[in-house]
Structure 1
Amino acid sequence: MAKAKNVSNFAALIAINVKYFSMKVSKILFSLLSVFFILFISCNDAEDEDVPLYSSYSNTMVKSFYLSDDTTSIVDNLSKRFFTIDLVSGNIYNADSLPYGTDISHLVANMEFSSPSKVEIYIKGKDDSGNDKTTTINYLESPSDSIDFSGGRGSVTMTVVAADGTTQRDYVIDVRVHQVKADSLIWENLSGSGLPASDAVAQKTLMKDGSVYCFTENESGEYSLFKTATPGQGNWQKGTISGISDLDINSIIVSPEGFFALVGTSDSKTLVSSSDGVSWSPVAGSSAFYSLIGMYESTLLGIVKDGSAYKYASYPQQGELTAVPADFPVSGFSNTVSYKSDWGTSQIVFVGGRLSDGHSFSNSVWGFDGENWVSLNNVNGGAGGAPITPREGAMFFTYYTYKYHSSLDYYTELLTYFIIGGSDGTKVLNDIYTTTDLGGFWTKAEDGSSLSLPKDIKGRAFASAVVCEESLDIRSSQMSWNLLESPVIPTGMRRYTKALTTEPVPFIYMFGGVDENGDLYDEVWRGVITRLTFEPIP
């Protein structure tokens, strides 16, 4: 009896399991049918919209790109020029553009891929009749065929087809060339406003703590100060100078505490100072100076006239007054520039000036190391000879030039000393001299060279030059660049060494200056080495 009951229970258990299993199988089958139905509908929708469900560009990737060296080109080491391959946007381009004038009409491209079934390059151009034409190169069959990249961005495109014969990727290949000579010093006349004071008959402009201070005098003998941090945009703040008369505008010197200047009409003038450039007062206990040279650290250096003798002087006075040598100028110096020698000695230096005989001029660069004045070049020739011609009232400042290393295809930025203009006693000058070593040779920029001044900039003396960093956005810049023979800088070019659009660019600002008759130019010129304005934008 018990055995029959167990058999009955076992049969019931089997029936329950069979029922459960049937329900489970039904649910699984229903789920599978549902997924299949959804996928079927999705695939139909995708096919209807012609949108692939999945696309991979791994087999259409361009793994490397470089150009073959071309002996007919002006570029050295063309094969070492780096090209960016942007797989996201499908762009291949050289971030640092090739030199101005490079012939890119017959270059050979070298590329490496994953496993393409086809690579075709399309070159848009013109036929002999001037009609549009497109040349196609099968790159896998003819990898050494030359390509004409001179049509500009978009004229050369490439399609890479993967090994499956279906998946493909399009690329734009852009070989960029500078549209201006990269190392040219170009100038723009900011003629829209000229000097901040339109009635000025004299001016002196200086840099202090990141701001530009333009001191002016009008025909009525009134003095004004105009201040801005962005001379290219104007925004001058005007202040009326008070507390002094008979101000020698050209004598104004920047000091750590503010400014020094001379007032008076005799050979012995009163030293005055100001913390803000507006309110001035006499400096108690100072010598009566003949001229001011500049600041060495916290000491003011100048010249005093003692009878018929000219002597070195300072404020505060350092030791006894000593006579200057016959070849040391006593007035008409350029502004001073800081200089550190190869031995680490800090100096201030100036160039030119009028000698004590009243009619001769110096062509030497003089440096002061805290104790002595010394000529930093041999003006009589020899191993350290300087070709600078004698002058007074020259502009003297530091800026940049570049040295090219052909073996590495690399440019080194060099701190460079510039001398511009002045007067030789018979005419005013518009020449430029440069050097990267004040103890060595100076080089004169020949007419038409990359550093020479355009003819629009007339010769001038006692002009002011300051170097001011300002952000550059060529797309909104007012610079016309119309002094160049080459085309306008393209929109897609910015500063080539930096990625940020707000990165400041150093500009040279040239204020005023006088002609042969002593009349002031109501002009402000802005100059820049074009290489400093390049930055590629894909």
Structure 2
Amino acid sequence: MSNKIYFLVALMLTTFTLSSCLKDESDNKTTTYNDTAITAFSLGQLTQVRDTVTKDGRDSVYKKKFNASKVKFYIDQAQGLIYNPDSLPYGTDVAHVLTKVSTKNFGTVVFTSNKDGKQYYYSENDSLDFTQPIKFRVYSASGDSYRDYRISVNAHKQKGNVFTWTAMRDNSNFASLTTMKTVSVGDKLFVFGTNGSQTVGYTTSITDGNSWVRLNKTFSANAYKGILSQGSKLFAVDNNQVLTSTDGNTWTVVSTNGNLKQLVAASSSELFALTTNDKLVVSKDGGLTWANESLDSDASYLPVNNVSYVLSSATGNENVSHVMLVGQTAAGKSVVWTRLSDSNTSSIANQWTLVESNMSRYLLPVYKHLTVVRYDNAALAMGLTASNEAAQMLLSRDGGITWTSDAAFSYPKDVRLGNTFTAAVDKKQFVWIISGSKVWRGRLNRVAWDINLSSATE
């Protein structure tokens, strides 16, 4: 009997203590991590609103539940912050969230409502509205100390598979160019193009795109075709010289070579070029010396017009890269060649392989001003149709064997292109499109999420 009375007295004392905590926000209790803390936070089952298309082609939505218990939450004990660095999917209902909180030493948890500013006891069975961060407080078992936390449940507010485009200010200088090529180097974007009998260049910051500065260096009319970047440098071939620059204005002569026609690709350690008789050569010393490349097919299949390249890392070896060379032959056929490049040794086979396929439905079409860039871990092809309309964006995720469309990849809405076209991808994974006097900058939403998440966790 005495044990029961003792238990009732202890229970009444505990209830009285917790009641006092809820009433007084400005009490004199101390904050001591050794006494109490939130040690784990997780979510329960959540609801997501998804888009769909009905059989008759109408847009519709439906709800689907998913288990969010494995979503990782980071607890910053020093600043009292709890949050999920990788946001929940778009459409997740964060206004009705079931959570699970674990505490040190069996601490008692309360939270402050964003609706009325009052404190309430926390319960795993009650859903919470996390459309805004919620203040949690955990009291020690004795009630003598507490810790405060600001808990956020982050969810994407944009659809992941959507390109978000921004139209930049028109540039009348670009309208006078008959052909163009865009190159991204570090924090700068360069546009080179033919204006009459010469190649001229312009540059802007990748954070700008509205203000362009004319470069003081000019080249011969067709030199724009072979200007490319390697690391922090620009390279070009003009008037029998290999040139390099870090700013586009001051160029240094690397070597003199009358056999070179244009640069076509670059890896981290090699430059590739076409010769005047349309052979493929390589330089492993920054353009000083050149050697013939080995091909597994006839050189007549090499691209000589609208040449682009895509560089990607080989799986499992950061020193080895995969070079994809894309363009159109002298006969007007779109072709793809591939080669491995090793930055450390020359032990790997360096033969170029012509990518062939008997699936004509998935071959790369012949686009005007064909431009291929690396994006979303794939090769992305763009350009113009014969009538100067925007040609369908096509992706290859298998090394150039097949090229297919993806609904997520689309041009700016109501885009009106000129009779020229060029594109590039900057280091922030923005795609730049320039056509006539028009300039656009766009990025796939989920690519931006990956970049933001990587920056937040580095």
2:392 is paired with a residue of what secondary structure? Answer: strand
Aligned to 1:308: none
Shift of 1:361: 4.0
Aligned to 1:231: 206
Shift of 1:210: 7.1
Cα distance in 2 for partners of 1:138, 1:343 equals 51
Aligned to 1:337: 310
Cα 1:379/1:190, change in 2 over 3 Å: farther
Matched, 1:105 2:95: yes
On the 8 A contact 1:253/1:295 being kept in 2, the answer is no
Cα 1:157/1:525, change in 2 over 3 Å: closer
One-letter amino acid of the counterpart of residue 354, structure 2: S
One-letter amino acid of the counterpart of residue 201, structure 2: L
Shift of 1:378: 0.9
Cα distance in 1 for partners of 2:295, 2:98 equals 72
Matched, 1:420 2:384: no
Shift of 1:83: 2.0
Deviations 1:348-403 (A, max 9, x none): 423342651xxx542x422357976543241535xxx7354332422212233xxx
Q: Output aligned runs, 1:315-394, within 5 Å.
A: 318=292, 328=301, 331-338=304-311, 348-353=323-328, 356=331, 361-362=333-334, 364-367=335-338, 374-378=353-357, 380-381=359-360, 386=362, 388-394=364-370
Aligned to 1:204: 181
One-letter amino acid of the counterpart of residue 533, structure 1: N
Shift of 1:197: 5.9
On the 8 A contact 2:111/2:137 being kept in 1, the answer is yes
Cα 1:530/1:78, change in 2 over 3 Å: same
Aligned to 1:464: 422
Shift of 1:79: 0.7
Aligned to 1:512: 434
Aligned to 2:155: 177
On the 8 A contact 1:211/1:227 being kept in 2, the answer is yes
Higher strand share: 2
Cα distance in 2 for partners of 1:164, 1:467 equals 59
Matched, 1:138 2:54: no
Cα 1:82/1:464, change in 2 over 3 Å: same
Shift of 1:143: 2.9
Cα 1:196/1:57, change in 2 over 3 Å: farther
Cα 1:424/1:329, change in 2 over 3 Å: farther
Cα distance in 1 for partners of 2:88, 2:308 equals 38
On the 8 A contact 1:421/1:460 being kept in 2, the answer is no
Aligned to 2:285: none
Cα distance in 2 for partners of 1:55, 1:341 equals 51
Matched, 1:85 2:75: yes
2:374 counterpart (378, 398, 401): 398
Matched, 1:286 2:261: no
2:97 is paired with a residue of what secondary structure? Answer: coil
Cα distance in 2 for partners of 1:322, 1:89 equals 60
On the 8 A contact 2:434/2:440 being kept in 1, the answer is yes
Cα distance in 2 for partners of 1:88, 1:321 equals 60
Cα distance in 2 for partners of 1:350, 1:465 equals 16
One-letter amino acid of the counterpart of residue 508, structure 1: F
One-letter amino acid of the counterpart of residue 332, structure 1: N
Aligned to 1:147: 128
Cα distance in 1 for partners of 2:70, 2:275 equals 54
1:97 is paired with a residue of what secondary structure? Answer: coil
- What value does the CA root-mean-square deviation take over the aligned residues? 4.6
> Between Structure 1 and Structure 2, whose CA radius of gyration is higher?
1
Shift of 1:65: 1.4
Cα 1:77/1:436, change in 2 over 3 Å: farther
Shift of 1:177: 1.0
Cα distance in 2 for partners of 1:507, 1:182 equals 15
Cα distance in 2 for partners of 1:166, 1:331 equals 78
Gaps of 5+ in 2: 1-25, 49-62, 283-289, 341-348
Aligned residue pairs total: 388
One-letter amino acid of the counterpart of residue 422, structure 1: G
Aligned to 1:533: 452
Cα 1:145/1:236, change in 2 over 3 Å: same
Cα distance in 1 for partners of 2:327, 2:178 equals 24
One-letter amino acid of the counterpart of residue 147, structure 1: L
Please give the TM-score of this superposition, normalised by the length of structure 1. 0.57
2:69 is paired with a residue of what secondary structure? Answer: helix
Aligned to 1:67: 43
Q: Percent identity?
A: 20
Shift of 1:438: 0.3
1:251 is paired with a residue of what secondary structure? Answer: helix
Aligned to 1:475: none
Deviations 1:164-216 (A, max 9, x none): 4464554433211122234644332232x648767545432224587544324
Cα 1:83/1:441, change in 2 over 3 Å: same
1:421 is paired with a residue of what secondary structure? Answer: strand
Shift of 1:159: 4.0
Please give the TM-score of this superposition, normalised by the length of structure 2. 0.66
On the 8 A contact 1:394/1:419 being kept in 2, the answer is no
Shift of 1:335: 1.5
1:389 is paired with a residue of what secondary structure? Answer: coil
Aligned to 1:254: 228
1:286 is paired with a residue of what secondary structure? Answer: coil
Cα 1:300/1:255, change in 2 over 3 Å: farther
Cα distance in 1 for partners of 2:368, 2:127 equals 57
